[in-house]
Structure 1
Amino acid sequence: MLSYLEFEKPIAELEGKVHELKRLAQEDPSVSISDEVSKLESKAAQMLRDTYANLDPWQKTQVARHPNRPHFIDYVHGLIEDFTPLAGDRLFGEDAAVLGGPGRFRGRSVMVIGHEKGADMETRLKHNFGMARPEGYRKGIRLLDMAERFSMPVITLVDTSGAYPGIGSEERGVAEAIARSMDRCLGLSVPMIAVVIGEGMSGGAIAIAAGNRVLMLEHSIYAVISPEGCSSILWRSSDKAKDAATAMKVTAQSLEELGIIDRILPEPIGGAHRERAQMIRETGDAIEEELRGLEGLGPDALRRQRRDKFMAMGRLGLS
């Protein structure tokens, strides 16, 4: 069942009326309400288009966090054949917030790594809401090493509100694990495509997002800290999260203008959660296209392209 966000309430009311009229028509076929249903459906569709064409950064943040949005597991099921999940960092233990392993993507062997948030309360607890501990990133490093050893391109799917900040996580060196993961991404000799499919918050996101090409879904977000975290630091309250989201330029559109990301993947009208299969398929098409574009680059060229890309971020041209 589709859940609606706060700003979607007018749409929910119209679509609810359509559903109710269709139910009445099924109960009493003699009642002719097709014209009324058609008008309401057309009005709801237009309202949905208008609403999603003018989302502000905070509304996009809400869409990026929508519970029905496709997650890592959904993309793997839709795009990757013979996926073999690998567990453990060979140092401390397993972290289900980061999943990964080898598989086949449209005829080629690849290594897939990503955050998994979970789809219900049981799986959200299992995956710690996609907030990884250091062992999750160290597992990622192990998989990156394996990808390089067997010359497999790397695909990463980013969706996290940040690395887990608990005491155990800090004691085991989460900041160091994130830094080493970023360094390993930048030093890879194989192509790496990173896609922000939902939230891309803080070092917990960029730890597996330092790729040759960084893509974002249209209504995903990407920033150094969550809007609530920024609000708490600057205003000593999370009540200013909406203002923080606007000031931080967390949207794909702003980040493309700033040169932080390379490409925006359009979402179905109403967000990826309304047409999950379509979004997964089109994301796969984009990944395939980007991998083809990197085929002619050797190991040194791939490293150099990746390094130059990230070193150029934030620099201002001086006359």
Structure 2
Amino acid sequence: MKSDHGRLREEAADPGRRPTGRYGNVRPVEAAISSTGWLSDGCGTGGQLPQTAAYGSSGLAVAHGDAITFRSNGRCHTLHMEPGPVRGLAREGQLIAAGGDAGTFRVWDMKRRPGKPYELDPAKDPKGYRYQYGVAVSPGGTLLAAGGYSNTIRAWAMTAGGPAPLRSWQATGTVWALAFSPDHRTLAIGADRVVELARLDGTGGVQRFAALSAPVTALAYGDKGRTLAVGTKDGTLELWDVRTHRRTLALTTHQGPVRALHFAPAGDRIAVVGEPGSARWWTLGADWAQSRACQTASAPEPREWQRLIPDVNRAEVLGAISCRTS
């Protein structure tokens, strides 16, 4: 790994080897996957530490003050939200969405109208909406959502003419995070210390999914919508089975409040963007994690597994085959 002022570059792993979790500071703001590992080619932020972040299929974006920095088509870009600062951020495809104070919500379509954002501020009583921390863009960029201090969540459908109002919901607490399911049927809501689910067709109301020990600050769907990743203000990452409502993994990232989450396409790793802009890839597969631990220590005992590879399902780890061979 090489770094210089305001930038970070991470070299590719050896061909044929799956890379280990790598840790770095991301004032640089871009990561892209390749067959040989994770590469980083970031854009400087003028020495400012990111205050919020987003990670979608088109890459990473970070915000500091009223500025949003990201890479697209090999070039660094900076957008400015007026009025700032940026409180919530989302990126997917050609869309960048940002929430601010007093209900401010801006959406940039970098393909159709890169220099002029859609302004989706509330028509009445904008101060009642206050900080828009939770912002989401659906896979494919067809749906948008924003919510915040007022507990109100607003959703739009992207049309040829721009965003069209879809519907709104009331969460049970301050909305810190939002995520659309891959099938575009459900919106996951981080409302204070609770995860809630709302159907996009408006049926069923807002349903409680899980309770956590700290405010929910990031959400992401993985495994074709069967897994929901939850990041919290205390730096915890949890994976939940959407169908059974059961937690399948919990770990402490040691990265501060989790700002953004993103699953690798294969689903075997998850990127955690923390504070202030730290980024780490965590391996989720027990088989490869066991191999990694065996390379670290030739014959770990069961009690050592949690220390060596804390980023996998502990039940799988404790039942793993020993590294010893006959």
**Which TM class, normalised by the smaller chain length?**
under 0.3
Q: Which has the higher strand share?
A: 2
Name which structure has the greater RCO, CA cutoff 8 Å, separation 6+: 1
| Higher CA-based Rg | 1
Give TM-score, length-normalised by structure 2: 0.27
Q: Which has the higher helix share?
A: 1
Give TM-score, length-normalised by structure 1: 0.27
